[in-house]
Amino acid sequence: MEGLALSMKTESYLGLGPSGFHRLAYAEWGGAAAARTLICVHGLTRNGRDFDRLAAALSERHRVICPDIAGRGRSDWLPAKEYNYPQYLADMAVLVARLGSGDVDWLGTSMGGLMGMQLAAAANSPVRRLILNDIGPFIPKAALARIGDYVGKDPHFASLDELEAYLRKIHAPFGPLGDQDWRHLALQGYRRRENGGFGLAYDPGIAEGYLANVKDDVDLWALWDKIACPVLVLRGAVSDVLTADTAKKMQARGPKAKVFEFAGTGHAPALVSEDQIAAIRDWLAQTA
């Protein structure tokens, strides 16, 4: 998958939080002259390079922007108390303004989808179309607790092979990925430790705010009902985060989303297989 990076460039910009400015990194695919701009935002502990294969596939028709949210990937780390949705959304508002494309399409995996829902529901939103990858307006607390079992643990690995083995175990619900896909997740998901070895490419401090909010179910139906743009929902057939019942309700109320379900996959589809990429490409073409 490394060859895909030949058509990608990396950029960065400054966001502002309570403790000062911080630098945010993003990968850009396609040209600024493309008719549409698609922003792809990753899940809680991942980063923008998760979308390399998808972005390469869509870049002929779209300018695809894949940011690293603060504390992840190549973006700056923040004080733990500043890892929250108001900060993330403010940083993304700056990104949208920087891109200068007016309105945008938004694809969000898990946390990135929650961000997308909040932006799409806001007054005068620049989000024209919304794709939610295995996330919805209701999340059972049991699923939140499962994720909380590993987020922020900051394991130490002697080699990339050890780190990859860990990712294969923790992220097994991503689906039946190939060896090349798992290696890519490892290569783009590590940091070098000062004392040697490898760690995961995110700040363990993100766990503080997350764990403070896993005591109850998440209920955002009132927010969902405010969304007016077209919505595509991608669901892993055995996901515990986006249940079949919630997906069915998302089809019936609010923006009345179109739902695609992928067999043999939980939370969340990795968006690297041809059928998953085709579902996104086709829906974007149909709603153009």
Of 118, 120, 119, 130, give the one whose Cα is nearest residue 258.
130
For position 4, what pLDDT does the model report? Answer: 52
- Report the alpha-carbon distance of residue 26 to residue 4 in Å, rounded: 16
On the 0-12 / 13-18 / 19+ scale of CB atoms within 10 A, 19 is exposed
Please answer whether residues 246 and 137 qualify as being in contact, where contact means their C-beta atoms are separated by less than 8 angstroms: yes
On whether the 2-286 domain is CATH 3.40.50.1820, my answer is yes
- Report the alpha-carbon distance of residue 78 to residue 16 in Å, rounded: 11
Cis geometry, peptide bond prior to residue 263 (ω within 30 degrees of 0): no
For position 101, what pLDDT does the model report? Answer: 83
For position 2, what pLDDT does the model report? Answer: 47
Q: ∠ at Cα 187 (181, 188), nearest 5°?
A: 90
Tokens representing 156 are 């130490």
Please provide residue 141's backbone torsions phi and psi, each rounded to the nearest 5 degrees.
Answer: -65, -25
Concatenate the DSSP letters of all residues of 138-168 into one string: EE-HHHHHHHHTTTT----BSSHHHHHHHHH
The set of long-range contacts for 223-226, using a CB threshold of 8 Å and a minimum separation of 24, is 223/117, 223/118, 223/121, 223/137, 224/117, 224/121, 224/136, 224/137, 224/250, 224/253, 224/254, 224/255, 225/253, 225/254, 226/121, 226/254
Concatenate the DSSP letters of all residues of 62-85 into one string: EEEEEE--TTBTTSPP--GGG-SH
What are the DSSP E strand ranges found in the chain?
A: 8-17, 20-29, 36-41, 62-67, 104-109, 127-133, 138-139, 190-192, 198-200, 218-219, 231-236, 258-262
Residuewise pLDDT in 10s, the chain (288 residues): 544 555 899 999 999 999 999 999 999 999 877 889 999 999 999 999 999 999 999 998 999 999 999 999 999 999 999 999 999 999 999 999 999 988 999 999 999 999 999 999 999 999 999 999 999 999 999 999 999 999 999 999 999 999 999 999 999 999 999 999 999 999 999 999 998 999 999 999 999 999 988 889 999 999 999 999 999 999 999 999 999 999 999 999 999 999 999 999 999 999 999 999 999 999 999 998
